Amino acid sequence: MKIYNIDQIKDISVLCKRGGTDDRELFSYVQPILEEVEKNGDRALKKFSEKFEGVVIKDLEVKSESRISDELKAAFKVAYCNIEKFHKAQIEKNREVETMPGVKCFRESRAIERVGLYIPGGSAALSSTVLMLAIPAKIAGCKELILCSPPPISAGILYVAKMTGVNRVFQVGGAQAIAAMAYGTETIPKVDKIFGPGNQYVTAAKMLLQSKGIAIDIPAGPSELLVIADDNARPDFVASDLLSQAEHGEDSQVVLLCTDEKKVNEVLKVIEKQIEVLPRKKIAKGALKNSFAVIVSDIDQAIEFSNQYAPEHLILNIRSPRKYINMIENAGSVFLGPYSCESAGDYASGTNHTLPTSAYAKSYSGVSLDSFVKKITFQEISKEGVKNIGPTVETMAESEKLQAHKNAMTIRLNSIK
């Protein structure tokens, strides 16, 4: 990790800019995959599975049972209960508002009927992501949950899919899986909205399809973490948090903002020790090459930097972290205090780990119960309401030269008179 002093940085925005492949190059690579899946369906999916993953697929749908250890089953159960509890608390009560006498307005939620869940596989099959997506989908009342994940699908993903009530599971990954759920194929049904994180190709596919009117949750690419630490922070805690995200992928990025230069050097030394025992140390080392630490003058300055960076995950490993909550403007999910490690949120604290990356936290929220519902507004106007609101509607419609709009109200006013 490179070390910077905030006073020596001429342009903070340069550091806040994420690296990676040029979007135009990425989109031009992914677009033909989407088009071929739209045109050739299942045949294209099997072709791409063999090309990209080296797997020959006979049946796209997976119906087999899976076996996992009792210890893992118990862990999934704890996580399930916590995630369910947090997301059930997001259910809104319908409230009717009388905006003026005789004019009543209210709003109700309706579940998105069929949703597609993309679950990353490969070297780190994210069974936890099934919990994060399927649980709020079920609470929201979605009728059909379709899951796609690269072959071979892990036993953990299959177990959690059944545990959470996923209706159908398909062994297909990458941009082609996103295309399959967007367009539908002979085997995989078309869904109404696509959820789930993935690599740069998955994210590019989601963004290209969104531009064509297909609903997605959020742009969620390579994982990232920003830690703000003071002179009281334990170096081993900070180092472990940084490495927990660095091991996701070589394109991940971790950032340390610290008020104490000596503490930064202590953290970097601990990272060197901790990384050597990691099975994914090569990946973590690759991510650290894209990462950096910044020495700041105080916590206020650190939060100002963080708001510009807009991290997916933000840890405040500082004294009295709640004191700074109101200052945080842009972050996917925030972890308060030294014991709130990011991995707790990844797995089992209850909050959702499907979060915006690449500074999209400036304009996107993470996945929540609201992601799986549509909000429909209702209004009911009585004769009294027509008398009260009618003149306002007539005047505004006439100012916009929309005579038919005015007439719709005038006719009602005249009928009452």
**Residue matched to tokens 């209706």:** 167
Q: Where along the chain do the CATH 3.40.50.1980 domains lie?
A: 2-18+222-350, 23-218
**Of 70, 43, 173, residue with least CA distance to 120:** 173
- pLDDT, tens only, 162-203: 999 999 999 999 999 999 999 999 999 999 999 999 888 999
Q: Where along the chain do the CATH 1.20.5.1300 domains lie?
A: 382-416
Strands 97-100 and 103-111: antiparallel
Mean pLDDT of the chain: 95
* pLDDT value for 22: 65
DSSP strands (E only) in 174-319: 193-195, 215-216, 224-229, 253-258, 292-295, 313-317
* pLDDT value for 268: 98
* pLDDT value for 417: 78
**Could you tell me which CATH number the domain at 2-18+222-350 has?**
3.40.50.1980
What's the mean pLDDT in 140-160? 96
**Which residues, in sequence order, are CB contacts of 229 under 8 Å at separation 6+?**
238, 256, 257, 258, 259, 260, 263, 267, 317, 318
Q: Using 50, 70 and 90 to split pLDDT, how confident is the model at 289? A: very high
* pLDDT value for 64: 82
Domain spanning 382-416, CATH architecture? Up-down Bundle (1.20)
What's the mean pLDDT in 249-262? 95
pTM: predicted TM-score of the whole model, two decimal places: 0.93
Output b/e per residue, 273-288; b: 16+ Cβ within 10 A: ebbeeeebeebbbbbb
**Which residues, in sequence order, are CB contacts of 272 under 8 Å at separation 6+?**
none
Q: Which of 53, 312, 342, 353 is catalytic?
A: 312
* pLDDT value for 124: 74
What's the mean pLDDT in 104-116? 97
Structure tokens at 250: 């070589």
CATH class of the structural domain 23-218: alpha beta
Q: Which of 87, 248, 313, 353 is catalytic?
A: 313
Structure tokens at 373: 């519902």
- pLDDT, tens only, 199-253: 889 999 999 999 899 999 988 778 999 999 999 999 999 999 999 999 999 999 9
* pLDDT value for 65: 78
What's the mean pLDDT in 265-287? 97
**Which residues, in sequence order, are CB contacts of 327 under 8 Å at separation 6+?**
300, 303, 307
44 pLDDT higher than 90? yes
* pLDDT value for 20: 59
Q: Catalytic site residue 312?
A: yes
* pLDDT value for 38: 96
